[in-house]
A and B are shown apart, each in its own frame.
Chain A
Amino acid sequence: MPEAIAPRFRAGDRVAVRAAYPIGHVRTPFYIRGKQGVVERLCGAFPNPEELAYARSGEPAQPLYRVRFRQPDVWPDYSGQANDLVEVEIYQHWLEPA
């Protein structure tokens, strides 16, 4: 069994969601790709759903983060308040330091 993947990020780190567009089963929503936010917490490490979707083990477990985004950073035409947030769980391999 491969060793668990070490977490790269901590709460408070600025991260960017990779602007990648593969096919297959992906749990990083289209709307958040290419956006920047701040890590709110490390949720733990979980098997990779992209692999589980094909009945593979998904190991080694991938660190999963809750990432907090300011809504105006996500939607150019955001009509709510400037400090509104959207918080999304994102697997580590979709994140880069910002």
Chain B
Amino acid sequence: MSHDHADHAHVHRSPPRPDQDDTLTYYRAMEIALRELLIDKGIVTAEEVRRQVEDMDGRNAGRGARMVARGWVDPAYKRRMLEDGSRAAEELGLDVGPLKLIVVENTPEVHNVIVCTLCSCYPRMLLGLPPDWYKSRNYRSRVVREPRSVLAEFGTLIPDDVQIRVHDSTADMRYMVAPMRPAGTEGWSEQALAGLVTRDSMIGVAVATTPERRRG
């Protein structure tokens, strides 16, 4: 069972905004002031801040993709991943800190999509910082109420005989979607398979890239 996927290449990078590093807006000044106050008080050090920024920079979608790809080639790992996502991440050497991860699996019958309607909860300790649109008013308002329309706007058309499950991360758990393995990938290495797993497919607004689209 394949899902239709309209050609969908656009990720718009927004133009520089007034609150980028080169303009000292009020809130930029507040950030500097707070950081300096906390350093002066010995509550944090500049080095800690620098290291924490680096740490978060090192967390990205590729980490989740490794888990999904492992699950595609190793059914026992997939079972463990669906049972306890955090433990499965750590099994692959992926530090996730206190993250309580639930991995939900797409199948020919079920398509999952993740949202945090109340704020922006996201498995950041695994995947890094979420994209702006995930935190946006429009996504948070509409995907829980009209998931099929929102997914269609992303170019992802879910057939009527596939159930959609929207997961609203309202509390302590965090979610990641394990997309279905695309057809035509028999015998592929785990690393090559991981290359097909996009961040958007792990949020659920897209499916994994197919070999044809990868080549194209």
Binding site for B on A (CB under 8 A): 27-29, 31, 43-44, 46, 49, 64, 66, 71, 75, 78-81, 83-91
How many residues of B are counted as interface, with CB atoms below 8 angstroms from the partner's CB atoms? Answer: 22
Q: Is the interface of B mostly helix, strand, loop or mixed?
A: loop
6 contacts between A and B (CB under 8 A): A28-B170, A29-B117, A64-B173, A79-B148, A85-B164, A85-B165
How would residues 11 to 41 of chain B score, 1 for a CB under 8 Å from any chain A CB and 0 otherwise?
Answer: 0000000000000000000000000000000
Task: Assess whether A89 is in contact with B149, with CB atoms less than 8 Å apart.
Answer: no
Nearest-CB distance from A15 to chain B (Å)? Answer: 15
Task: Assess whether A89 is in contact with B171, with CB atoms less than 8 Å apart.
Answer: yes
Cα(A80)–Cα(B111), bound, Å = 13
How would residues 102 to 139 of chain B score, 1 for a CB under 8 Å from any chain A CB and 0 otherwise?
Answer: 10000000000000011000000000000000000000
Task: Assess whether B146 is in contact with A80, with CB atoms less than 8 Å apart.
Answer: yes
> Which residues between 35 and 94 of chain B lie within 8 Å of chain A, taking CB atoms?
none
Binding site for A on B (CB under 8 A): 100, 102, 117-118, 144-149, 160, 163-173
CB-CB < 8 A to A85: which residues of B?
Answer: 163-166
Which of the residues B117, B118, B145, B172 comes within 8 Å of A43, measured between beta carbons?
Answer: B172
Task: Assess whether A43 is in contact with B168, with CB atoms less than 8 Å apart.
Answer: no
Which of the residues B100, B164, B168, B172 comes within 8 Å of A80, measured between beta carbons?
Answer: B164
CB-CB < 8 A to A31: which residues of B?
Answer: 117, 144-145
Closest-by-CB residue of B relative to A32 is B168
Of A79, A86, A90, the most chain B CB neighbours within 10 A belong to A86
CB-CB < 8 A to A28: which residues of B?
Answer: 170
Nearest-CB distance from B213 to chain A (Å)? Answer: 26
Task: Assess whether B172 is in contact with A84, with CB atoms less than 8 Å apart.
Answer: no
CB-CB < 8 A to B160: which residues of A?
Answer: 81
Cα(A44)–Cα(B84), bound, Å = 13
Task: Assess whether B169 is in contact with A89, with CB atoms less than 8 Å apart.
Answer: yes
Known A27-B118, A31-B144, A83-B163; contact A88-B168, beta-carbon cutoff 8 A: yes
Task: Assess whether A43 is in contact with B163, with CB atoms less than 8 Å apart.
Answer: no
Known A27-B118, A80-B148; contact A86-B171, beta-carbon cutoff 8 A: no
